[in-house]
Amino acid sequence: MAQAFIFINVTGDHTRSVHTTIQRITGVKSVYTVTGAYDIIVHVETDSFQSLGELILSKIRAIDGVTHTVTCLVLS
């Protein structure tokens, strides 16, 4: 099992639509719209680090409005 927290920056007024889209992705455990350096924080859980990478690259980073992501892997 692989888990991570993904910190996301969103362009313009896309925060709500990105939040809604991410909630629908399989493997997403929670999504939070936050203030500060990032706009959204996501907790994800997948079967492997390979599927985690695929989720981030092909599903989250492909969402219209996502400009930048930082992924922090959970080690324990």
Domains of the chain: 2-73 (3.30.70.920)
Structure-block tokens of residue 33: 């719209």
Residue 76's pLDDT is 83
Enclosing H/E stretch for 50: helix 49-54
> Backbone phi, then psi, for 31, in 5-degree steps?
-135, 130
For every one of its 76 residues, what pLDDT tens digit does the chain have, with 9 covering 90 and above? 999 999 999 999 999 999 999 999 999 999 999 999 999 999 999 999 999 999 999 999 999 999 999 999 999 8
Taking a C-beta distance cutoff of 8 angstroms, is the pair 1, 75 a contact?
no
